[in-house]
Amino acid sequence: MAGETAGEWRGWRAAAREALYGEHGFYRRPEGPAGHFRTSVHASPLFAGAVARLLCRVDEALGRPASLGFVDMGAGRGELVTGVLAALPAEVAARARGYAVELADRPAGLDHRVEWLTEPPGGVTGVLFANEWLDNVPVEVAEVDAAGTARVVLVRRDGTERLGEPVAGADARWLERWWPLPAEPGSRAEIGLPRDTAWAAARATVERGLAVAVDYAHTAGARPPFGTLTGFRGGRESAPVPDGSCDLTAHVALDACAGPGARLLTQREALHALGVTGGRPPLSLASTDPAAYVHALAGAGEAAELTATGGLGDFGWLVEPRGIPDPLL
């Protein structure tokens, strides 16, 4: 019977950790994340090109160090770090060192310049870039019961849920500070404390340079009333089931993650600052150089997708300079 195989009741944090990163977890599958969902990295090489320009700005602010690091957190199969290294000018590329941080095994054929790690290196001079990493850091889910009390949501392997003990301790303090729940039964929140901790540890590895987190995000005053936990399987949104068959993701309270001197902006604002605008090429180019016009038109379409309102352009960018001025100002 289904009830006999569903497994034990656990909080969503433990259940998602095993489903995503356990021995047979989703992120250890051979097809990688790109087999199930599309990020900005997969949408267009313009994204890696923009990040490469950001790295060049940081390089200049650092005084062109002998070794310039680029750390790709939650690297998937190394698509972003590979694209960034390929887009760098030769003089910068000669000094650049790429690091891919991922629990899955190193993919075959990855650029030999990329070091494959399970934890970010310490003492980085350069850029740490976390594209859609924090949304996969597992968190507990809280739901308000009929009496108005926020309780921890428990789940079994088949996705069946029930309410557990009242939220207490540091989790309760986080909710009170960052996502206070109304007394309305059924109201839900994802308790982002593990993400705050994970991001603080990641940015601390940057000795000088820039730490950037890019993700689905929300901020205080605009929290979703019923949370955002969902699944992705085969390119489609699905029910969140912690059995290893699908991605499990929840939007990030980036304002809670932000450290001193951090700045929040949208991907649209960030990419515009890096020269990705989505502007159409002049029609006159079609008659003088048709091939160039077609190429530029395709690039404009990709740029428009990366910066679209209601889509990728609404992603949040958490930008934290470490010993340098903000390179996106």
Question: What is the rounded distance in angstroms from the CA atom of residue 73 to the CA atom of residue 237?
Answer: 23
Q: Is 101 helix (H, G, I), strand (E, B) or coil?
A: strand
pLDDT at 265: 97
* Mean pLDDT of each 10-residue bin along the chain, 329 residues long: 64 97 86 64 91 98 98 95 98 98 92 96 98 97 98 98 98 98 97 98 98 97 96 90 95 97 97 86 66 59 89 96 97
pLDDT at 104: 87
What count of other Cβ atoms lies within 10 Å of the Cβ of residue 258? 19
pLDDT at 30: 73
pLDDT at 18: 96
Question: What is the rounded distance in angstroms from the CA atom of residue 202 to the CA atom of residue 8?
Answer: 32
- At CA 246, angle to CA 244 and CA 250, rounded to 5? 110
- At CA 225, angle to CA 248 and CA 186, rounded to 5? 85
pLDDT at 3: 42
pLDDT at 80: 96
| Amino acid symbol at 99 | Y
pLDDT at 4: 41
